Amino acid sequence: MFEILICQKNKVKVACGADIMVGIISSYYEQFQLIKVNNVLLPIEHIHWIEVLDEDLECTPMNNPPFPNLRPVGQLFAPL
């Protein structure tokens, strides 16, 4: 499970003990049951939950595109 989050480089929110951290999971040490978030090693047994904050950009609708003057390819020859 952690390998997928590491490969996708998604930002996550992790509740561990009384603390909540936001960052990217960079490593998973299976032999020690630790994950590394923002250069902090967290024991898996103390993690209450992990929430993925960044979703895949292809899956999220773009209500406010970053370049509002660009048009879809099908509309290239349509008048402005």
Please report the pLDDT score of residue 41 as a whole number: 93
Contact criterion met (CB below 8 Å) for 37 and 54: no
Burial degree of 70 (CB within 10 A; 0-12, 13-18, 19+): exposed
pLDDT by position in tens, the chain (length 80): 677 777 888 899 999 888 899 999 899 999 999 999 999 999 999 989 988 886 654 444 455 555 555 555 544 455 55
Domain-embedded: residue 63: no
pTM given for the model: 0.60
Q: What total number of domains does the chain contain?
A: 1
Please report the pLDDT score of residue 65 as a whole number: 53
Domain-embedded: residue 17: yes
Please report the pLDDT score of residue 80 as a whole number: 55
Domain that holds residue 30: 2-55
CATH of the domain at 26: 2.30.30.100
Please report the pLDDT score of residue 22 as a whole number: 93
Domain-embedded: residue 11: yes
